[in-house]
A and B are shown apart, each in its own frame.
Chain A
């Protein structure tokens, strides 16, 4: 049995707790023993990406203290997972982090599970979040998991690998550009005829959901964990 320590991220903790709950459910069903360390907060990415290395380093130090001794750290976000596994090395010289796994990657690469036994009657299109795709190289894992969900039909959009426009503080520093990027992405999603867009990052989904709602669209957003928890 795998002992898994989950890092739910500040966004999921405060805004999308259902994603954390769904992830826990899927991991437990897959036979993992899940723990949640309550002193966890954020990975520090907002400070790091804004050019505040020192402030980011303090938060990263807190993260490392909280997760001391954890064997597997599973994260429902490619962006936060990449912050820890790739960019902590920029903050602490010689630091090497191999314990952190993005959720879908953990299922397929560590647990070797492609089919979690989920069922959902939806037409789904998958949005590649940038850091999952380009920093962690995750492309197939979520698609494989989705294609094994009963009653679910996966349709590819032409702009699957284009950014949704979120980009952390970018979304509020340059709202006009960010919003325009989201609308381009949404156009691509709508062309597929899908009723749901799925991603492995809640931040992208918050951006897309916010723009979809503003556009009056009834296309829904779901985190992969939520899809995989459906039976």
Chain B
């Protein structure tokens, strides 16, 4: 457990305030736009059902998707591992003589460390989402699924962009824009993720607010979309459900500023769009999550970030306390399930503490737009987690005492102790809180006297 990282976050009042208020604003926005949608709860169930159906027939829909993409002139690349996905990109860049790549924000490419890979192969990759660009310039990783630079103050952003400390957000954006415009025009490849992959039409759907994803996918000669296999949905009309939920849950917008439907490269007679389109379908451990009937719903996630914004633990410990790119409640259930895959790649991942670092308050499950039962999955992961011998013994003892009321009643001797030994759980309790004064008599003793 990265205790130092957690403690660092807890001890930084500026960070505490920034994260709490930014997530609070996103949560407020969600609450307001969701309230405008009378059919919200029905839509959540509908979205859940579509995802459930799709994942139960994932092979069929992926094959349909592949046929549709090819029919529209695109290429489909199946990548089992992070390395396969990264290699495809670098090989294509080498073959086409591309030295500059523009990227729009994508958690999937963060997951496979694509930028590092490109850099090692001498290819310049520039992030074009403003938050992601700031993070890239700072040499950091995304702090939040949808708001990568959520933890940065305006002053910090100004410093990164070499602007005056009192520069306005507009001025800062203008600086980034001036640099990025040129990159869009010079880049040979544009890389995006995908919010949805539509099986019946072969369309890639991108949801964003800055227009950088649209530019990344249309200005360069080649567009590569890299997506997890779980992003496929059966039909275009299913988007009517998901698009109503995604932006509302993420940022509190009824719809994001740009919603792009990209279906294949430029065809004869068309005036814009890329000359080549490639869709990389990434497994990277997803099929092993899929194999578990109970926990497979973790793959329903549409990456809105609502669970992070509502999580009292994320709001305290922040995005860098989690061991993988996915933080917050969704990270707590995804990371342990991907641990085996990631460890095979050599990642030194400590994920076993994650399912326990939750008060099980249930806020995440309540706001999840696709109704992933996050608390239930946390409990299942707790059950599966290997336990220490002393904890096993303690629980067995607890269970035995609670089945033997006469033994349980002996707790009165603990109550009568003048000073309790400050060790173990009691010590942990006292490190933050006082103990209540223990009563002279238990309820059962009072009850006997009462009669």
Contact = CB atoms under 8 A, between A and B. Distances in A.
Nearest to A180: B316
Contacts of A209: 434, 436
Interface string A42-61: 10101111111101101101
A211 B318 CA distance: 22
B436 A50 contact: no
B429 A38 contact: no
Given A42-B402, A56-B399, A20 B443 contact: yes
B313 A211 contact: no
**Most central of B398, B431, B445 by chain A CB within 10 Å:** B398
A167 B446 contact: no
Interface string B1-34: 0000011001000000000100000000000000
Contacts of B312: 162-163, 165, 181, 184
B396 interface: yes
B420 interface: no
A96 B395 CA distance: 26
Contacts of B450: 21
Grouping DSSP codes into helix (H, G, I), strand (E, B) and loop, the A interface class, with mixed when no group exceeds half, is helix
A42 B426 CA distance: 20
A9 to B, nearest CB: 9
A53 B424 CA distance: 23
A17 B402 contact: no
B317 A177 contact: yes
Contacts of B415: 14
B168 interface: no
A170 B358 contact: yes
Contacts of A176: 6-7, 10, 431-432
Interface residues of B, number: 61
B319 interface: no
A206 B6 CA distance: 24
A51 B433 contact: no
A196 B154 CA distance: 39
A171 B445 CA distance: 28
A49 B435 CA distance: 22
A134 B435 CA distance: 27
A16 B436 contact: yes
Contacts of B399: 44, 47, 52, 55-56, 58-59
B439 A167 contact: no
A168 B363 CA distance: 16
Given A41-B405, A52-B392, A177-B317, 9 more contacts: A36-B447, A40-B405, A46-B398, A49-B379, A56-B399, A130-B359, A162-B361, A167-B359, A173-B428
Interface of A: 8, 10, 12-18, 20-21, 36, 38-42, 44, 46-53, 55-56, 58-59, 61-62, 130-131, 134-135, 161-163, 165-182, 184, 206-207, 209-211, 213-214
Pairs of residues from A and B, 8 with the lowest C-beta to C-beta distance, nearest first: A167-B359, A179-B432, A210-B433, A51-B382, A55-B399, A163-B361, A17-B443, A134-B362
